[in-house]
Amino acid sequence: MEITLSHYLLLAGAVFTTGMVGFVIRRNAIVMLMCVELMLSSTNIVFAAFSRFHGNADGHVFVLMNFAVAAAEAAIGLAILVEIFRRRRTVNVDDFKTLME
């Protein structure tokens, strides 16, 4: 079987949906952040596939930049989580209700 552009797009769509669904149904903040990473990775697949398809390097450059941004986001997200965990001993987002009305 030949692997075509649509295969890559389907894969990316599946990964993105997995991330989105996981983000909505899981309540553990670390898992939620991991699901966001899945969503970012799926866009990397789309960018790389289209970059090859269009024959220009713009998409590849975007993927490289995206790695850095995803890493920075994870670093800040986890740092904040550690700070919260120290005070609350939980990372379940349903327990964070200090700011609700």
Instruction: Catalog residues that contact other proteins under the rule CB under 8 A.
Output: 9, 12, 16, 19-20, 23, 29, 32-33, 35-36, 39-40, 42-43, 46-47, 49-50, 53-59, 61-62, 65-66, 69, 72-73, 76-77, 80-81, 83-84, 87-88, 93, 96, 98-101
Closer to other proteins by CB, 25 or 65: give it: 65
Classify residue 59 as exposed, middle or buried by CB count within 10 Å of its CB (0-12, 13-18, 19+).
Answer: middle
- Checking 67-71 for CB contacts under 8 A at 24+ apart, the result is 69/40, 70/37, 70/40, 70/41
Closer to other proteins by CB, 2 or 42: give it: 42
Task: Answer for the pair 12, 43: CB distance below 8 angstroms, yes or no.
Answer: yes
Closer to other proteins by CB, 2 or 86: give it: 86
